[in-house]
Amino acid sequence: MNHSALFIKLMDRLIPVQVLSILENSFAMCLSCVKWGSVFSQFSELNAGVRQGGVLSPYLFSIFIDDLPNNNNNNNEHICIAQNKNPQMC
C-alpha cells in the first residue's frame, strides 16, 4: 500500500490535518528487521504498507481498498482472485 495514495484517500474523507500529520510521522519512523533465532538483521525503512498488529492498520487498509471495486467497474473489468494463483482461471 502506497503511503501517498493512502494520504490522498484520507484527505478525500476530510480527515483533519493534525491526524494526517501524526500518521505521516508514524509512517516516517517505521523500521523493520528480521529476527532469526537470536540474530537480528539490519533495520530498513518501510516505505509501503501498514504496521503489522497496529491498532489503526485494519482501518487504514480498509480505507485504502474501499473504492477498489468502484475503480474497476469504471473500466468494465472485474476483480478475480484465483486461489491457485492461476490467471487463466479468471
pLDDT single digits (tens) 10-49:
999 999 999 999 999 988 888 888 999 999 999 988 888 8
Report the number of distinct structural domains present in the chain: 1
CA distance 72 to 77: 5
Note the pLDDT of residue 47. Answer: 81
Note the pLDDT of residue 50. Answer: 83
CB atoms within 10 A of CB 3: 19
Residue 85 has pLDDT above 80, yes or no: no
Render pLDDT for 37-83 as a digit per residue (tens, 0 to 9): 999 999 988 888 888 788 988 999 999 988 776 665 555 455 565 55
Domain hosting residue 35, numbered range: 3-89
